[in-house]
Structure 1
């Protein structure tokens, strides 16, 4: 695999605010990442002759820091142009695109706890729209049936079981605001 390069001077920056509402307890671990994927498969090597398998789409996760404002609010900065478009394989320029910015939250950070993962896609990030994700309270601090349960929640409340009441849920909202270059 080539050495993919992060952009040392990104210009398309967004201030991201994470707001937690009605959670059953605090979150001691709050981390952030931006996921970038190559969007031009023609820059990748051809399929291997002996098995015909295509090369996997290169993906890079760039961490970013969430700064604690209060028990229920954190801020961070994410980039649309976080990777350098370059000819990594000798087959033309590989163009990167931001797939999502996301947070990882855990009650105390202990092994086995539920991993809450709200995210925001570039369309909403660029449009400076909020993305609210709903989570089921009984999964906090851990899902009793599954250790390290990865919970991505639901962004459309109407798609959740009708038996769930609002008091059974908490939300995490990601809101973006462009930062002038």
Structure 2
């Protein structure tokens, strides 16, 4: 595998504000990640002659820090151009595309508790449009959920898909982007 390179001087910078509303308790662990995929498959090596296997799309995950503003608000900085476009395989320039920026929140940070994972796509970053994700309060420190090794809740961005839950059974995490200077 080639040594994929992060962009040391990104120019497409966005500040994200993460706002938690109506959660059943605090979050002791808040982490951030940006996922980049190669968006130009023609730059990858051709399929192998003997097996015909295609090369998987290269993916890179870059962590970013969330700065605590209050119990219910954090800020972080993400980049659209976080990876360097380069000829990594000798078949032309591989162009990286930001697939999503996401947060991972846990009530205490303990192993086995539910991770709440809201995300925002690059189209919403560029449009500076907020993304609201709805989560079930019952998943917060739920003993039944912790029987799984690594439980995760991605929530729903469409409230109408959670009609089985009342508003008082939900909390939201909103990611609000704003263009920033490098």
**TM-score if structure 2 supplies the norm length?**
0.96
Show structure 1 runs of 4+ deviating over 3 A: none
Q: State the match for 2:14 in structure 1.
A: 14
Q: Secondary structure at the match of 2:81?
A: coil
Q: State the match for 2:154 in structure 1.
A: 152
Q: State the match for 2:27 in structure 1.
A: 27
| Range with greater deviation from structure 2 (140-149 or 30-39) | 140-149
Note the C-alpha offset of 1:144. Answer: 4.5
Kept after mapping to 2: 8 A contact 1:114/1:147? no
- The question of 1:131 aligning with 2:120 is answered no
Q: State the match for 1:165 in structure 2.
A: 166
Q: State the match for 1:83 in structure 2.
A: 83
Kept after mapping to 1: 8 A contact 2:113/2:146? no
Across the aligned residues of Structure 1 and Structure 2, the Cα RMSD in angstroms comes to: 1.0
Distance in 1, Cα, partners of 2:105 & 2:85: 31
Distance change >3 Å, CA 97–CA 156, structure 1 → 2: same
Distance in 1, Cα, partners of 2:104 & 2:160: 24
> What are the ranges of 5 or more consecutive residues in structure 2 without an aligned counterpart?
none
Q: Give CA deviations for 1:5-25 in whole Å, capped at 9, x if unaligned.
A: 000000100000000000011
Q: Give CA deviations for 1:54-80 in whole Å, capped at 9, x if unaligned.
A: 000000000100000001000000000
Distance change >3 Å, CA 51–CA 12, structure 1 → 2: same
Q: Secondary structure at the match of 2:25?
A: coil
- The question of 1:177 aligning with 2:182 is answered no
Q: Secondary structure at the match of 2:42?
A: helix
**TM-score if structure 1 supplies the norm length?**
0.97
